[in-house]
Structure 1
Amino acid sequence: MKILALILAAITSAFSLQAVPAPATFEQAKVELRQKVYFDRNQAGEIYCGCPWRWVGRSGGRVDLSACGYEVRAQPNRAARIEWEHITPAWVIGHQRQCWQNGGRKNCVATDPVYRAMESDAHNLTPAVGEVNADRSNYRYTQLASTPYQYGACRTRVDFKQRAAEPRDEAKGLIARVQFYMHDWYRLNMSRQQQQIFSAWDRMYPVSEWERERDRRIALVMGHSNPYVTGERAWQVGQKPSGDGIPIARAPEKKSASTVRQAKAEPSEDTAHLPVIGNRNSKVYHLPQGCPSYSQVGPRNQVPFGSAQEAEAAGFRLAGNCRS
């Protein structure tokens, strides 16, 4: 009976994990990370310098700089506070999604549901000293052997001329596996040089017990783990990203014409929250599943609709490259 109870508990836990809705916004993600992931980690130290902090408010913190030997470089206000760092920068995400160029972050949040999912992905977020977060900006990670350290005892450094940053050794493995996850899950491009650096860090700095625990906690927030932490996947230089985190990237099953018409009225569960996107120039509309050009409509030309029927009533027709 005890074994049966354990099996039932495991099945229930797995079902609950899959049913969890991921955070819908960056703000929500920060609050959930504070409450469910990092609630007991503030004395263990943030990612870049190992500095402890005191929680303030819903998701903020005040850094104890003296406890980690941190020396302010230029921004005392930001050095004193905890900020939430996007390991794969929001700037990089937005530019690859092609929404940042037409209005920056605000435009991406307003017009691109895939960007919103990426910006609020808890796997990609971590507490960091605000000044280091600001200095790192959207710079690439790399090795900086000749760059001096700028933050006292903190072993993270930034080269502003090269637009590059090197995190301390204790963070390199986690950062590499988050980068693998983000680029694979959301089909982002990564240079071969970056792939080689992260592959080296992945080998040199294996998954720690805290990283495993972090992944378990974030899985309860996101509904899935990072497979590069659990060992379900291993990055190969030159591999093609899967895009598993983008609903439209999943190959749809072949359906009859009547089934396709029914699907327009009854979208699948994983795309039901996404709008139908019309192109105001071409007067065609794209469904969130089965239409390859769904994410390629320029933000200024997007006309969102609640359903295919609504789009057709407005004079739009289904895009010709949508697959059945």
Structure 2
Amino acid sequence: MKIRKSPIIFISASILLDFLLSLNLLAVPTSFDKAKEEAPQHIYHDRITIGTFYCGCEWSWMGRSGGRVDLEGCGYQIRKQPNRAERIEWEHVVPASNFGRARQCWQDGGRKNCKATDPVFNAMEADLHNLTPTIGEVNGDRSNFNFGILSTTLGQHGACPVKVDFKQRTVEPRAEVKGQIARTYFYMHDRYDLPMSRQQQQLLLAWDRQYPVTAWERERDRRVAQRMGHSNPFVTGEKSWRLGHRNGAEGVVSWLPTESSGRTLSAVNGVIRGNRNSKVYHLPEGCPSYDRVS
């Protein structure tokens, strides 16, 4: 019997790398709704016992993106919203309104307009590095308040250690997540070129030093990187934040149109301005720093 040999196909390393990268990019969530489906399936599928972000309460999965919280098991007391208190919601650690206000689309029509017109906003809203499971009521109480120290404020959610001062619009989270919060803020502000006040920087730098990266935070970053295509460099140690930090803005630059994406730079309305110091290009639409670049 004559055996027919199959032809051997050689694939160059560069072609293989491009192929693997293309597969990875297909996994990147392109909307907040998609990200909320990705997070339970690929990031937190086996982590319900680590507890919700602010309270440490266990939950059970329900539906495609939500969950039911074991309030009695963690001593949580409902403050005002029983329906939201019983369910898991996906919170933006850096609130959507915070990064939205940095975009022109928000000034022109708020969140709805940004979702319809701004790919950078959609990338920020769907960024898995910035999403975490929380009790819905706590998510609502946190709102878009800044983080801070509330030494004289009493807790309002039973055994849940989160503190909320509604008059000062300030939240103090439990100690276990303060470091993760700091490094998430550093990541979002650096990647998407967001401004941060000196006071907030000083607080988050203190939390970053006091609460170093945990084993779960590293594992979470690894899982998120598999979906997003990149890690949080402030978790891996590739970057560190200092007062007056200069943002890398990779998340903004990566959306610059190129010929390979089917759209050339000449198709953009107006003049593209380049910052000779930061080496970042600014488009006339959607870039809050455009008018500050000469």
| TM-score over 0.5 (shorter chain) | yes
Deviation at 1:96, TM superposition (A): 1.1
Tell me what 1:60 maps to: 66
CA separation of 1:162/1:19 partners in 2, compared to 1, >3 Å: closer, same or farther? same
Deviation at 1:146, TM superposition (A): 1.1
Tell me what 2:102 maps to: 96
CA separation of 1:13/1:84 partners in 2, compared to 1, >3 Å: closer, same or farther? farther
Tell me what 1:155 maps to: 161
8 Å CA contact 2:271, 2:284 repeated in 1: no
8 Å CA contact 2:253, 2:281 repeated in 1: no
What does the per-residue CA deviation read over 1:234-291, in whole Å, with 9 as the maximum and x for residues that have no partner? Answer: 10111111101112688xxxxxxxxxxxxx9x6245x86999543xxxxx4769x956
Counterpart code for 2:107: Q
TM-score, normalised to structure 1, is 0.76
In 2, Cα distance between equivalents of 1:286 and 1:268:
18
Tell me what 2:218 maps to: 212
Which of 267, 280, 287 aligns to 2:259? It is 267
Counterpart code for 1:98: Q
In 2, Cα distance between equivalents of 1:157 and 1:221:
32
Deviation at 1:27, TM superposition (A): 0.7
CA separation of 1:214/1:15 partners in 2, compared to 1, >3 Å: closer, same or farther? farther
Deviation at 1:68, TM superposition (A): 0.8
> Aligned pair 1:16/2:20, yes or no?
yes
In 2, Cα distance between equivalents of 1:198 and 1:121:
20
Give 3-state SS (helix, strand or coil) of 1:20's partner: helix
What does the per-residue CA deviation read over 1:165-212, in whole Å, with 9 as the maximum and x for residues that have no partner? Answer: 111001101010000000000000000011111100000111000000
In 1, Cα distance between equivalents of 2:254 and 2:236:
25
CA separation of 1:158/1:276 partners in 2, compared to 1, >3 Å: closer, same or farther? farther
List runs of 5+ in structure 1 lacking aligned partners: 1-11, 251-263, 279-283, 298-324
Tell me what 1:25 maps to: 31
In 2, Cα distance between equivalents of 1:274 and 1:80:
49
Deviation at 1:162, TM superposition (A): 0.4
Tell me what 2:229 maps to: 223
What does the per-residue CA deviation read over 1:42-96, in whole Å, with 9 as the maximum and x for residues that have no partner? Answer: 1221110001111011110010001111001111110000000000000011111
Give 3-state SS (helix, strand or coil) of 2:153's partner: coil
Deviation at 1:294, TM superposition (A): 4.1
Which of 106, 109, 116 aligns to 1:110? It is 116
8 Å CA contact 1:87, 1:126 repeated in 2: yes
Counterpart code for 2:208: D
In 1, Cα distance between equivalents of 2:108 and 2:73:
43
Deviation at 1:99, TM superposition (A): 2.3
CA separation of 1:31/1:248 partners in 2, compared to 1, >3 Å: closer, same or farther? closer
Tell me what 1:293 maps to: 284
Which of 239, 244, 254 aligns to 2:245? It is 239
Provide the alpha-carbon RMSD of the alignment. 2.9
Tell me what 1:51 maps to: 57
Greater length-normalized contact order (CA 8 Å, ≥ 6 residues apart): 2
8 Å CA contact 2:145, 2:169 repeated in 1: yes
8 Å CA contact 1:108, 1:116 repeated in 2: yes
Tell me what 2:11 maps to: none
8 Å CA contact 1:286, 1:294 repeated in 2: no
Counterpart code for 1:61: G
Give 3-state SS (helix, strand or coil) of 1:188's partner: coil
8 Å CA contact 2:119, 2:255 repeated in 1: no
